A and B are shown apart, each in its own frame.
Chain A
């Protein structure tokens, strides 16, 4: 709740209240006459230019219920304005309260028209405030605050008559279904200062009020009414028996009501007025009386509130965004420190590696080229010894074979089509057989068993293959020469 100034206006005086969250402190009291109003205006002008709310706790507040066609928007406002002018032609302050739609064939709305009739002392106050251009944003009658009080008290009864004795007198307000229906302010007799007399007068006035509500048709005869009496320290609850079965009496201590409404701090001298000021400060401005000048001031107040809120939202959003930015910047700074240290470490490592580079006898490219050439020449530098040793071992297995010659050469041996390497070595072997010519076949067989040897061509002593020609003299003298053969073998590389 924003701190607000509330003027409580009665016929005799004007009290200025400063209202904030949980408190309503009377700031100043003025008499409701010309000199008092001048002092009031002087006092208010000295204060900070803050919105003012006015509570008119005055008599001659008239209420009237009408049925209107169900309308909306500007059309409704126009009809209501016209009805108010017709009903209260001289009223400066008038208001309407919708009592809801009437269920039936005709689409109608029940509206209560209210106004302060006659030239009340409150008008002088408002006139003085307007003259001094003081920002009045809402005018409530004391009756209009009763529904808000009942809501805070969580009253479940549909028909409640609120009764309280304040500075202006005995205020009786009838509320039906949470809406103001009727209110009356009656003065207390001079004897009413004594508790017993005030209780008796309270009883009397309440009974009269009930009779009036029944007679005027505001309350149906069979309807129950709960009377809520707010008992103050000046006028405590007296012994009272409600009249009739339809009326129930509930007297509630002011402190209980105040706490229910959120008021924590008040003065014992003006309990009802402090509560009214507190409720008025918490109520929406549109719920009170208002003319066009008040609407202008209200709009100004709303715009100012909106601007203040906008500033607040903007500031909050900026602070949040700034916080996010600061967090991001902090993260970036941490990353940058990490990067700096890593870059520094990399630079040191680079300098160390650069410093530790050995003095090269030649260019790095030459080093690479020499390494590559050595690797690629390696197969060409292979000794012929392995192949020759393979032949030697095979000869050991077949001693009948006598070699005449071995011709070794690199390449020109088996081709890749044979499943061997083109760069492999090959050897052409020529020899003869001492003894049985079939030893050559054994020799070839032994060679075939060597995993690294591939036999490319074999010319044996007898061309036994079907594709070759053989001839001889089986009856003649035996041939004195030993059978000869030739083989071409190759060695698979990489085995």
Chain B
């Protein structure tokens, strides 16, 4: 038994130590390289995820920036025109007075109803901070010429501080019996408009 064991040991010892050492070194090197590679793969995965997140975030911010620029331009235009903000009835009346003179309309009678809140055009169009409001105006107009009357009605759309939404308009020829003394109106118009404004509660809160 002892001899057999000794023989086996001698046999083992007879394997060139250099070969075993080289093989062991090579295997150890491979194992080390594998562990390094695994660590690199993990780091690569983390970097990839970070890069993907950063790219998505950058793209989102860039898109947001473009959208903000576009929306802000529209918003600023409406603020400048006065559509966003409080009603400016005095400005409306001044505008109509000036328009009446320019278009030679004989008479402009008006009645503006109290402001009311309108439902937004579509259900998802707005958010709680944005409110659409309208003031219904009834105009009774008399003009001597059809062109003057139509010009007045078209020019009314440039009213400051509101969007003008025409509802109905009845135009008819005035008979001689109906004409007022000292004037010669030929046309009479009875029209209904909505002066629409927008109210942004958040902007108002910021402004305050």
With A311-B20, A322-B29, A349-B58 in contact, do A385 and B154 touch (Cβ < 8 Å)?
yes
Interface residues of B in 129-148 (CB under 8 A from A): 129-130, 132, 146
Q: Are A392 and B150 in contact (CB under 8 A)?
A: yes
**B51/A339 in contact, CB under 8 A:** yes
Q: How far is the CA of A353 from the CA of B43 in the complex (A)?
A: 28
Question: Which residues between 187 and 206 of chain A lie within 8 Å of chain B, taking CB atoms?
Answer: none
Q: Given that A335-B44, A370-B198, A383-B157 are known contacts, is A329 also in contact with B71, CB under 8 Å in the complex?
A: no
Contact A376 B146 (CB under 8 A): no
Main secondary structure of the interface of A (DSSP, over half): helix
A332, B37: Cβ atoms closer than 8 Å: yes
With a 10 A CB-CB cut-off, give which of A308, A362, A409 has the most chain B CB atoms. A362
B172 touching A356, Cβ below 8 Å: no
User: Which A residues lie within 8 Å of B33 (CB)?
Assistant: 321-322, 325-326, 329
A383:B79 contact, CB within 8 angstroms: no
A364 CB contacts on chain B under 8 angstroms: 64, 67-68, 71
CA A358 to CA B69, docked complex, whole Å:
8
Selecting from A101-109, A400-408, A436-444, the interface stretch reads A400-408
A356 to B62, CA, bound (A): 10
Instruction: Name the distance in Å between A372's Cβ and chain B's nearest Cβ.
Output: 5
How many angstroms between the C-alpha atoms of A362 and B84 in the bound complex? 12
> Does the CB pair A371–B172 fall under 8 Å?
no
The residue of chain A having its C-beta at the shortest distance from the C-beta of B167 within the complex is: A410
Which 7 interchain pairs have the tightest Cβ spacing?
A405-B172, A367-B71, A318-B26, A311-B19, A376-B121, A311-B23, A315-B26
Number of residues from B at the complex interface, CB < 8 A: 77
A interface residue numbers (CB < 8 A to B): 49, 300, 303-304, 307-308, 310-312, 314-316, 318-319, 321-322, 325-326, 328-329, 332-333, 335-336, 339-340, 342-343, 346-347, 349-350, 353-354, 356-358, 360-374, 376-377, 380-385, 388-389, 392, 402-410
Measured CA separation A48–B44 after assembly (Å): 52
Q: Judge whether A405 and B47 touch: CB under 8 Å.
A: no
Does B125 reach chain A (CB closer than 8 Å)? yes
Contact partners of A383 in chain B: CB under 8 A: 153-154, 157, 166
B163's partner among A304, A307, A371, A377 (CB-CB below 8 A) is: A377
Interface residues of B in 35-66 (CB under 8 A from A): 36-37, 40-41, 43-44, 47-48, 50-51, 54-55, 57-58, 61-62, 64-65
23 A–B contacts, CB within 8 A, in A order: A307-B15, A307-B19, A308-B19, A311-B22, A315-B19, A315-B26, A328-B37, A336-B40, A336-B43, A339-B47, A342-B51, A353-B65, A358-B72, A362-B206, A367-B71, A370-B71, A370-B74, A370-B75, A372-B122, A374-B78, A406-B172, A409-B169, A410-B168
Give Cα A325–Cα B203 distance, bound, in whole angstroms.
61
Q: Which residue of A lies closest to B57 (CB)?
A: A350
How near does chain B come to A375, taking the closest CB pair, in angstroms?
Answer: 9
Question: Other CB < 8 Å A-B pairs besides A353-B61, A361-B75, 19 of them?
Answer: A304-B16, A311-B15, A328-B37, A332-B40, A336-B47, A339-B47, A346-B58, A347-B54, A350-B61, A363-B127, A366-B75, A367-B67, A369-B127, A370-B130, A371-B74, A384-B166, A407-B170, A409-B168, A409-B169
Q: B15 and A381: CB pair below 8 A? A: no
Q: Is B126 an interface residue (CB 8 A)?
A: yes
Assess whether B153 is in contact with A385, with CB atoms less than 8 Å apart.
yes
Residue of B nearest to A354 (CB): B61
Q: State whether B67 touches A381 (Cβ < 8 A).
A: no
Interchain CB contact under 8 A, B11 and A300: yes
Complex Cα spacing A383 to B157, Å: 7
B26–A319 touching, CB < 8 Å = yes
Contact A353 B62 (CB under 8 A): yes
Q: Do A372 and B29 have beta carbons less than 8 Å apart?
A: no
One of A308, A315, A371, A373 near B121 (C-beta < 8 A): A373
Asked if A332 and B71 make an inter-chain contact with CB atoms under 8 angstroms apart, the answer reads: no
Q: Which residues of B contact A360 (CB under 8 A)?
A: 68, 72
Bound Cα distance A329, B37 (Å): 6
Q: Is B120 an interface residue (CB 8 A)?
A: yes
Given A370-B75, A371-B75, A381-B164, does the pair A304, B11 have CB atoms closer than 8 Å?
yes
A405 touches B126 (CB 8 A): no
User: Which of B30, B70, B129, B173 has the most CB atoms of chain A within a 10 A radius of its CB?
Assistant: B30
Does A304 lie within 8 Å of B30, measured CB to CB?
Answer: no
Among A322, A376, A409, chain B packs the most CB atoms within 10 A around the CB of A322
Is B105 in the interface zone, CB < 8 Å from A?
no
> A357 and B68: CB pair below 8 A?
yes
Residue among A354, A361, A382 making CB contact with B79, cutoff 8 Å:
A361
A356 to B57, CA, bound (A): 15
Contacts of B40 in A (CB 8 A): 329, 332-333, 336
Specify which chain A residues have a CB less than 8 angstroms from the CB of B43 in the assembled complex. Answer: 336
The answer on a CB contact under 8 Å between B200 and A370 is yes
CA distance A97 to B165 in the complex (A): 120
Kindly state whether residue B97 has any CB partner on chain A within 8 Å.
no
For residue B207, which residue of chain A has the nearest CB? Answer: A361
- Closest A residue by C-beta to B192: A409
8 Å CB contacts to A: which residues of B160-208?
Answer: 163-173, 196, 198, 200, 202-203, 206-207
Complex contact B11–A362 (CB within 8 A): no
By the criterion CB–CB under 8 Å, are B168 and A407 in contact?
yes
B61 touching A346, Cβ below 8 Å: no
